[in-house]
Structure 1
Amino acid sequence: MKPIWIADDDQSIRFVLEKALQREQMPTRSFTNPREVLAALDEEGEGPQVLVSDIRMPGGSGLELLEKVKARHPGLPVIIMTAFSDLDSAVSAFQGGAFEYLPKPFDLPKAVELIRRAVEESQREEVAQETIDEAPEMLGQAPAMQDVFRAIGRLSQSNVTVLITGESGSGKELVARALHKHSPRANGPFVAINTAAIPKDLLESELFGHERGAFTGAQTMRRGRFEQADGGTLFLDEIGDMPFDLQTRLLRVLSDGHFYRVGGHSAVKANVRVIAATHQDLEQRVKEGVFREDLFHRLNVIRLRLPALRERREDVPMLTRHFLQQSARQLGVEPKRIADAALERLGRFGFPGNVRQLENICHWLTVMAPAQVIEPKDLPPEISQGPGEAVAVAAPSAAATGAPEPVALASPAAGMPSSGDWESGLQAEAMTLLLSGRLDVWDELTKRFERKLILTALDNTRGRRIEAAHKLGIGRNTITRKIQELGLEE
């Protein structure tokens, strides 16, 4: 074990901590100012297991030292001590990435316990980081995922069409990208299109392109996704939602590689490998007559089933740490760590939104968790309420498809939520939508809020609109208009 470094100009503090840590078989090394700490880092390269630093010392502050140490050793836990127990210092310490904030005078056993937690966290993060560094492309280590990896390996030299099935948010596009990356077409383009996210009238042009003047607004010739993917791979996500008439055109392309641009008269040839994905049961869609059976068989040459996250719970710790680091890089902040108890709570959650939901939760935690170490109490409401009462605050489906999704409210059986729970849920959903890149967050959340509010009021008044409007404090005409706008008419 590497030593615990103690930086404090107060000799008595250094002495007390040294003796207490030595009794716990934890080696120590002491410094009187930040310059000595930085010089030791320059000379030795390898940092300590944990750094405990006073906030005010001759020759520099602990916060400045924190910033410089973190630049060199981002994963090093730093505990900031101060006799000036003011809010500004605490906020500055946490913003700088401090592991914990320890006001003086402190209780020695509690200080030792805090340092022990920091040591355990440091050692755990070192092992986790080694795992991530060794396998940066791994999506998981669960047996179900190993089957997927083996299939990707077997298909590495093939151009065969692949159908990926799995629930929304389970990572189907990541598998498609891996298939492309490890295929003979790796040097060609990878082009992805979500067939469910594009209006029917535009989807044909998106896929096959159009000629100039083919329709109003077609000012120039445009190459479609098939042409863009020539020599590479075209990923058709949510293929089960493709309109029936377009399925016929797709079947022809898969048969001979030729197609016509919208408004065109000359056949275009594209050398494209198609990988399709869906969360739907295509066999059932065929039985219902909404998906062509011949297209299904053409796509279903090789099928890869991607397991839901609840089927690979052993991957949750690794994925959580990966997403926390990824979120920190995107937001330009210090990566947060997560305690074992919080990981255990996450592992018990059902994750209806799968890996994408876990990723969104990690975004939320990066912004909202108050300390550098995430404890169970810091988890968002849908996790802390337990599996039986979980609500999809961070589920990605609305962000991905624009479909209505309920605002985070507890179930009626659980009783009315507190003000803090309701606001935390709203804050979590807002953060999820903002991080997804949507540009209509205000309108989306306002619609959901108004919808839930009006439906609740109507339920309370047993459908009597005038009474509901009166209780909400709005006019009769307003509630009637809102019911029409929100599509709440029976």
Structure 2
Amino acid sequence: MNKSQALVVDDEPDILDLLKITLGRMDVRAVTATTVAEAKRQLERNRFDLCLTDMNLPDGTGFDLLRHLNEHYPEIPVAMITAHGNLESAVAAMKAGAFDFVAKPVDLQSLRALVGSALKLRGRAPASDERAGVGTRLLGDSPAMERIRHLIAKLARNQAPVFITGESGTGKELAARLIHAQGPRGEGPFIAVNCGAIPHDLVESELFGHKKGSFTGATGDKEGLFQAAEGGTLFLDEVADLPLQAQVKLLRAIQEKCVRPIGTQHEVAVNARIISASHRDLNAEVEKGHFRQDLFYRINVIELRMPALRERPEDIPLLAEQLLGRLGRGQTDGTPASGMHLSAAAIEALKRHAFPGNVRELENILERATALTDGQRIEVADLYLTKGEPATTRPRAEEPVDDAVPLADYPGELETGAILGALEKAHWNRAAAARKLGLTPRSLRYRLARLGIE
């Protein structure tokens, strides 16, 4: 393999020498330039695997060179050298297509990590979403899903923070996993955390770690999630649920690329890409004072919106087929569901359904249908879909569940309602209720435990 080569553009001799020496120790040959014009000439003469450019140059800016590279050499990752603390320039550079940024004075450890990640893109063909592993493919052939696949492939080639929006059940974590798997960090860890599930007094400990004895209950040293994601990706799901105090420290961690574990006086450098997500409108949360504007500005460098299922009804037949196959392989009582399929009328009914719970709701509907259907063909009546628009409020516990099954914000309550209705009619005899539902007692016990029904 030919030796890696980087184009380094800066008008400060000391910076050029430092970068040249550092790259040389990584077995990367540095070709230097001090102006935009000279950099363009070098690009015409040589093949480069990476470009490092200062923001301010005698005859233009780093943005001028970035635009030139994006237009004529889109395969070359570009990292911008910015002034210390100039967050706006760094964000603007990544919005314009920069791979990453490094701040002056240049931290050599961060620089080496950046160069290592960039070089992993060399000669790399676009990856398919199957690289993320079994069960993590983006299903659907609709134009909306084709756009999502294209954007994911593009986002995977840089290190800019990504903010994924979309309703619950649209696959935000799946999109984050695919961005990670298809990028240069794909071999590193993918650490996912639901920020809303962490008690507020433990958020800082979970994210940044702590030392033994730093607070009551700290019986040993604990590595934070930032450190656990070293060399990989940290996915902050439902980031809007973070308390304001933790948001301040998260902003510093992202901006400075270092964290301070609770109970220590020193900071630890971290190298993790940040992808965050929320089903809430963060602009509205900022206006309410619930989310810091500067943090939103930092994590929302690039936004990826996942489409709702009702926006792509043409994908429902394929999704349903795949979900039925998965449900068949996962039967808890050992009985296969191979051959289980939807009638044409059932498919049309699903296409007309609004799906407030999106793909998660579709899976729940099909799981219930496979449990309650006699035979292998699922009809419209087996889906228990309500007429008209789905309810927007959760049904009260005392409302009876009879022939009609109420819809709720969370599709798991559909199954809960059907099971509670059968139990009530069977006078809370589980064996009799299982027979009414067409389940084995073991399958009913599994569902009761999964749904948290005592």
| Band the TM-score falls in, shorter-chain normalisation | 0.5 to 0.7
Report the alpha carbon displacement of residue 364 of structure 1 after superposing the two structures with TM.
1.6
- Matched with 1:81 is none
Report the alpha carbon displacement of residue 173 of structure 1 after superposing the two structures with TM.
0.4
Distance 1:249 1:212 in 2: 20
Distance 2:146 2:420 in 1: 33
Distance 1:279 1:196 in 2: 12
- Matched with 2:121 is none
- Matched with 2:168 is 168
Give the residue type in structure 2 aligned to 1:226: F
Deviations 1:241-279 (A, max 9, x none): 211111000000111111111222221111000000011
- Matched with 1:221 is 221
- Matched with 1:287 is 287
Within the candidate set 388, 395, 407, 1:406 is matched to 395
- Matched with 2:267 is 267
Report the alpha carbon displacement of residue 164 of structure 1 after superposing the two structures with TM.
0.5
Instruction: Name whichever structure is richer in helix by fraction.
Output: 1
So what's the TM-score if we normalise by structure 2? 0.58
- Matched with 1:139 is 139
Aligned counterparts, 1:49-198, within 5 A: 137-198=137-198
Does the 8 Å CA contact 2:327/2:337 hold for their aligned counterparts?
no
Within the candidate set 367, 370, 374, 1:366 is matched to 370
Report the alpha carbon displacement of residue 326 of structure 1 after superposing the two structures with TM.
1.0
Does the 8 Å CA contact 1:407/1:425 hold for their aligned counterparts?
no
**1:426 maps to 2:417:** yes
**1:353 maps to 2:338:** no
Residues 1:433 and 1:357: Cα distance change in structure 2 (over 3 Å): farther
Deviations 1:24-72 (A, max 9, x none): xxxxxxxxxxxxxxxxxxxxxxxxxxxxxxxxxxxxxxxxxxxxxxxxx
Distance 2:359 2:244 in 1: 30
Report the alpha carbon displacement of residue 350 of structure 1 after superposing the two structures with TM.
0.6
**1:387 maps to 2:388:** yes
Deviations 1:171-225 (A, max 9, x none): 1001000100100000000000010122111222111112111222221111111
Residues 1:348 and 1:365: Cα distance change in structure 2 (over 3 Å): same
Give the residue type in structure 1 aligned to 2:180: H
Report the alpha carbon displacement of residue 434 of structure 1 after superposing the two structures with TM.
8.3
- Matched with 1:442 is 453
Distance 1:286 1:136 in 2: 32
**1:337 maps to 2:337:** no
Distance 1:192 1:328 in 2: 28
Local SS of the residue matching 2:234 = strand
Give the residue type in structure 2 aligned to 1:340: A
Give the residue type in structure 1 aligned to 2:276: A
Distance 1:278 1:254 in 2: 18
Distance 2:445 2:139 in 1: 25
Residues 1:191 and 1:373: Cα distance change in structure 2 (over 3 Å): same
Report the alpha carbon displacement of residue 442 of structure 1 after superposing the two structures with TM.
2.4
Count of residue pairs brought into register by the alignment? 289
Does the 8 Å CA contact 1:370/1:378 hold for their aligned counterparts?
no
Local SS of the residue matching 1:163 = strand
Local SS of the residue matching 1:317 = helix
Does the 8 Å CA contact 2:164/2:306 hold for their aligned counterparts?
yes
**1:204 maps to 2:204:** yes
Give the residue type in structure 2 aligned to 1:328: G
Distance 1:437 1:297 in 2: 43
Larger of the two Rg values belongs to structure: 1
**1:323 maps to 2:334:** no
So what's the TM-score if we normalise by structure 1? 0.54
Distance 2:266 2:160 in 1: 27
Report the alpha carbon displacement of residue 406 of structure 1 after superposing the two structures with TM.
2.7
Report the alpha carbon displacement of residue 142 of structure 1 after superposing the two structures with TM.
1.6
Report the alpha carbon displacement of residue 320 of structure 1 after superposing the two structures with TM.
1.0
Distance 1:199 1:371 in 2: 46
Does the 8 Å CA contact 2:416/2:451 hold for their aligned counterparts?
no
Residues 1:265 and 1:370: Cα distance change in structure 2 (over 3 Å): farther
Give the residue type in structure 1 aligned to 2:388: P
Report the alpha carbon displacement of residue 429 of structure 1 after superposing the two structures with TM.
7.8
Does the 8 Å CA contact 1:323/1:362 hold for their aligned counterparts?
yes
Residues 1:428 and 1:180: Cα distance change in structure 2 (over 3 Å): farther
Deviations 1:406-432 (A, max 9, x none): 36898xxxxx86468589762358999
Does the 8 Å CA contact 1:433/1:441 hold for their aligned counterparts?
no
Distance 2:445 2:237 in 1: 23
Distance 1:172 1:433 in 2: 30
Distance 1:307 1:143 in 2: 11
Unaligned runs of 5+ in 1: 1-134, 393-403, 411-415, 444-490
- Matched with 1:488 is none
Distance 1:136 1:224 in 2: 26
Distance 1:351 1:138 in 2: 18
| TM-align CA RMSD | 3.0
- Matched with 1:251 is 251
Does the 8 Å CA contact 1:391/1:408 hold for their aligned counterparts?
no
Distance 2:183 2:255 in 1: 21
Local SS of the residue matching 1:196 = helix
Distance 1:424 1:436 in 2: 9
Give the residue type in structure 1 aligned to 2:261: R
- Matched with 2:61 is none
Report the alpha carbon displacement of residue 344 of structure 1 after superposing the two structures with TM.
0.7
